[in-house]
Chains A and B, each alone.
Chain A
Amino acid sequence: MATNCIRCLARPSLPPSFLVNASSSLRIQSLPSTASMGKRYASKLNRPTTNGPRKNEKVKGQKTLRIKKKPPPKTGKPPQPGERKAMRKRIVLSNTNALEVPGMRELDKGLVGEWEMGIRDARRQAEEGHWVLEGALGMVAKEGAKEGEAKNGEGVIGQVVALQGQTVDSLRAVEAFKTTQGWGFFRRPGLLIREESVMLSRKLIQAEQGNLRLVIDGERGTGKSLLLLHAMATAFVRGWIVINIPEAQEVTNAMNDYAPLPNTNPTLFTQPTYTATLLSRINKANPILADMEISLTHSLPIPIQSNISLSRLCELGARDPDVAWPIFQAFWAELMAEGMPPVLLSLDGLSNIMRESMYLAPDTSKVHAHDLALIDHFVNYLSGKRRLENGGAVLAAASRSHAPTSKSMELVLKQLVELQKGEEEITEKDPFEKSYDDRVEWALGVGSEKATKAGPVEVLKLKGLSKKEARGLMEYWAKSGVLRKKVDEKEVAEKWALAGNGVVAEIERGALRMRI
C-alpha cells in the first residue's frame, strides 16, 4: 500500500497497519506532515484494508473503554396484536362509583308515546287554526295560541333520561357511542332531552308515514352526534331498523379493500370487507331481524334457502366479504318490501362523503365518494332520488372536528338555513371559487339541472343549550356526585356564558374535565 501524504507527498515512515491503530499513540504526533493520514484519504482506493487488528479488539497492555449494552428488562407479557388499540377504542358506559340518580325517567315507549300525543294535539289544533306547520322548524305557535297547550311530553325538556338496557346494547352494536363522550362518568347512560331532540323525535314519528331527509349541523361541541344518537335511540324504541355508518371517514379514507362493480356506469366501487362488517353490525343491533323471513327471490352468488330469516341473511353476508355487497342489496330489497318496519339510515361526518375519496381509480384519478357503492346508496336516499318505501328517515350529521372542508356543502347548508329563517338575502355562490361540486348540491337536493322532485333536505342547525337545559344537565351531574358544587342560578349562568352561550361540550369541559 504505497500511499503518499496529500500535502507534502512524503511517504509515511510507519506501516499503514500501525497508522490505523495508532490514534492514541504519541509517536504519530511527532510526524505532523503525515498526521492527516489516519483520518483523511485522497480516494476510496487509498483507504487501508482492514487486515490489522480491529478497533475494539484488545491489544495487550492497552486500556479501552467498553460499554456493554444492557438489554431492556423484560417485565410481564407484551400486549397481544390489536390489544392496545382495543384498549384505546374501549367504550365504558358505567361508573360504579357514581351515585344512582333517583327518579330518572327512561326513554321508553311511554315517553315516545307522549311525544306522539303531542303531534296529534298539535294537528288537532292546527285544524282549529292555532298552529302552523312550518318546514324544518316544526310547529310554531301562531300568535294568540294559549301557552301550555299541546305540551305533551315537553315537561321532560331539560331533564336527563336514561336509556333502556336493550337500547344501549343496540346503540353499542351500531357504534353510536364514541370515546370522546363522557359516558364513563355516570352510573348508567343517560341523554339530555333538549328542545331540538323532542322536535326531531316528533319528526321521526311523523316520518313513519312519509320520508324524512335531514342534515344536522352546528358548531363544534353542540351535540350533533348525540342528537343522532337520540334519533337512533328513538328509532330503536319505535321498532325501526337502524343502519348506521358511525364514521364516514372510515369509508372514504382508502383503508379498506375495494373492487369495481361490473355493469355500472359510471363505475361504482364496492368495499367488501367494510360491507361485511356493516352487515354484522346491522345484525347485532336489530334483534327484530331474527323474526323476519325472506319474502322475495334473489339471484345471489351463493345458494340460500328460501325461508331463512333476515338475520341469517346478514350473517351469511358478514361471513364472506366476497358476497357481502350482493347480500346487502338483497337485504335492502327485503327491507323495502311491503309490510316491513321503517328504516333509519344515518351517517356521522357528512363532509367526508361530500368530496373525492382517497381511493384511486385504474387511471389513477381519485374516485369521487359518491362513486363508492355504499355511499352512492346512502346519497340516493338523502337526495330524495329514491324513497324509503315503508317510511323512515335519512339522517346525516356534519362533523366539525377533524373534518375536511366541502365548499359546496357549506354553501348549501348555509343557504338552506337562511331560507328556513325567511331571510331576504340568500348567500350567493362565490364566482371565483373553483372547488364547488355539482354532485354535492345534487346530493343535498338542490341544484338547477338534476335537482330531484323531492326538494332540498331539511337542515337542523344546533346551537348552545338554553339555560334551563344547562341547569337540568348540571343538576344531573350534581345528583350523580360528579359535580361537587352548588348548582344555582349564578353557577349555571357562569358556566353557560363561559361555554360560548351554552355549547354543551364546553360546559362539560369546564365543569367536569378541566376544572374539577
Chain B
Amino acid sequence: MPPRLNIFGVSRSLAIRPRPSIASHQSRILPVVSQRGFADEKDPNLSKGPNEAGLGHVSEEAADLGRVMGETQPDLGQGTPVQDILKRDEEGRDKAPAVIKEEIDSIKADAAESTSFANLLALGQIENIATGGHGTDPVNVDTVGHKYGLPELPLPKNSNLKYRYDPIVSQVTNLLMKDGKLGVAQRNMSFILNHLRTAPPPVPNPARPLVPGSPAPNHLPLDPIGYLTVAIDSVAPLLRIRSQRGAAGGGAALQIPVPLGLRQRRRQAVQWILDAANKKKSRGSGRNQFALRFADELINVVEGKSSVWEKRQVVHKTGTSARANLSYRPGGRR
C-alpha cells in the first residue's frame, strides 16, 4: 500500500513569518525624479535644498528649539492651543483679542479655589452636611457640584436594571419558580436567605469537604448569599454523563462524560437539592413551608448530611470509569 500523500502536508514545513500588520504603502524603491508637475501647473513644487525651507509654525519652532536646548518639547501630534502660545509670548498676550484676555483673567481668579485639594475636600464636606449627612462621609472631588457625585467608570458589570440580584440568587430564584410566579419565588428566596441568617452556624463534616476557599462555618450565617453559594458549589457536579446510543456495540449505550459550565453545574446541584426538599415532610403550616424545607436541605448539605452528596459521588465515579470513552467521536475516526 503506497503511503498516503497529502499535498497540504507540504506547506507544514514552511516557516511562518509574521507580517507587519500595517503594510507600508511607500515604495521601497526611491523615485529617481522626486516629483513631476503637470504642464499647466503655475507654481510647481520644486525640490529645495536642506536649508531652503522656511520656519515651521510656532509649535514646530518651539520643538526645534527644545531639541537644541535639551528642554521639554511640545507634542507635535496635537494642535497647539492659542493660550499655550500666548503663555510664552508676552508680546502676543498684550495684542490678543479681548475675548481671550477675559478668558485668561477668569482662569486666574478660579485657580486659587479649584486647584487646592484641601479646598475641594472642605467644600465636599460642607456639601455633605448641607444634604443632611455627616461631615465624615467620603468626599470625592466629583461630589462638588453634584448631589451624589458621578458614577465611577467603568460601570460594574451588573449595574444593569435587569441584573439587580447576585447571579447565583437570580439563578436559584428562577429554579424555585413554579407556574411562572416569580414574585412567589422571590419571597421564598428571601425567606431562605433569612432562615440561613438566623439558623445556628453549621457544623461541617470532614468526610464531605466543602468547596475550597469557603469561609469558616461561623462566618457563614451573616453572609447568607455566601452560605448559599458554598452549599450549592460544594455539591455541584463537575460533569454529566451523556449516553450515546449504539456506540458501545450490540445496542448498548456508551457513557461519555461531558464537562459542565458553571451555571450548568449549579443548576444540577439546585435540582438535586430541590428533589430532596420536595421529598421532605413539612413540620409546620403556612405558606413558607417549602422555603423552610429548602433552607433546611441547604444546611444539611453544608453539614454533609444530605443525600445530594451521594448523587454527586455517583456521577463522578461513573465519569471516572467512563473516561476511556472520551476519545469517542460520532461518525468514527476521520
Contact = CB atoms under 8 A, between A and B. Distances in A.
B200 A489 contact: no
A88 interface: yes
A87 B286 CA distance: 9
B294 to A, nearest CB: 16
A488 B133 contact: yes
Given A467-B132, A489-B128, A481 B283 contact: no
Interface string A257-273: 00000000000000000
Nearest to A92: B198
Contacts of A411: none
Interface stretch (A60-68, A95-103, A358-366): A95-103
A85 interface: yes
B284 A88 contact: yes
Contact of B198 (A83, A95, A516): A95
A97 B137 contact: no
Contacts, number: 69
Given A489-B132, A489-B137, A514-B190, A87 B284 contact: yes
A199 interface: no
Contacts of B169: 516
Given A84-B283, A87-B285, A97-B222, A482 B197 contact: yes
B144 interface: no
B281 A75 contact: yes
Interface string B134-148: 100110000000001
23 contacts: A76-B281, A79-B283, A84-B283, A84-B284, A84-B285, A87-B283, A87-B284, A88-B284, A97-B198, A185-B194, A185-B197, A468-B132, A481-B222, A484-B223, A488-B137, A489-B131, A493-B131, A513-B194, A514-B186, A514-B190, A515-B164, A516-B169, A516-B224
B285 A85 contact: yes
Contacts of B200: 96-97
B133 A97 contact: no
A58 interface: no
B315 to A, nearest CB: 26
Nearest to A481: B222
A76 B282 CA distance: 11
Given A85-B285, A87-B283, A514-B186, 9 more contacts: A79-B283, A79-B284, A84-B283, A185-B197, A488-B133, A493-B148, A515-B165, A516-B224, A516-B225
Nearest to B132: A467
A55 interface: no
Interface string B299-330: 00000000000000000000000000000000
Contacts of A512: 194
A69 interface: no
Q: Considering residues A99, A488, A489, which has the most beta carbons from chain B within 10 angstroms of its beta carbon?
A: A489
Contacts of B286: 88
Interface in A182-197: 184-185
B201 interface: yes
Contacts of B137: 488-489
Contact of B133 (A84, A87, A489): A489
Interface in A444-500: 467-468, 471, 481-482, 484, 488-490, 492-493
A97 B186 CA distance: 24
Interface of A: 75-76, 79, 83-85, 87-88, 92, 95-99, 184-185, 467-468, 471, 481-482, 484, 488-490, 492-493, 512-516
Contacts of A482: 197, 222
A488 B285 contact: no
Q: Could you say which interface size class chain B belongs to?
A: 20 to 34
User: 6 tightest CB-CB pairs across the interface, nearest first?
Assistant: A489-B133, A87-B284, A97-B221, A84-B285, A88-B286, A481-B222
Q: Is the interface of B mostly helix, strand, loop or mixed?
A: loop
B193 interface: yes
Contacts of B223: 484
Contacts of A87: 283-285
Contacts of A515: 164-165
Contacts of B186: 514
A418 B284 CA distance: 47
Contact of B148 (A83, A88, A471, A489): A489
B132 A97 contact: no
Interface in B157-183: 164-165, 169
A481 B286 CA distance: 29
Contacts of A83: 284
A95 B197 contact: yes
Contacts of B221: 97
B182 to A, nearest CB: 12
A40 to B, nearest CB: 40
A88 B282 CA distance: 12
Nearest to A74: B281
A88 B197 CA distance: 18
Contacts of A97: 197-201, 221-222
A275 to B, nearest CB: 28
A185 B164 contact: no
A132 to B, nearest CB: 27
Contacts of A493: 131, 148
A75 B281 CA distance: 8
Nearest to B222: A481
A349 B223 CA distance: 37
A372 B168 CA distance: 54
Query: Residue among A88, A97, A471 with the most chain B CB within 10 A?
Result: A97
A481 B164 CA distance: 21
A72 to B, nearest CB: 10
A48 B19 CA distance: 98
Contacts of A467: 132
B304 to A, nearest CB: 20
A493 B133 CA distance: 10
Interface in B8-36: none
Contacts of B222: 97-99, 481-482, 484
B222 to A, nearest CB: 5
Contacts of A92: 198
A484 B199 CA distance: 18
B228 to A, nearest CB: 10
A19 to B, nearest CB: 46
A346 B284 CA distance: 31
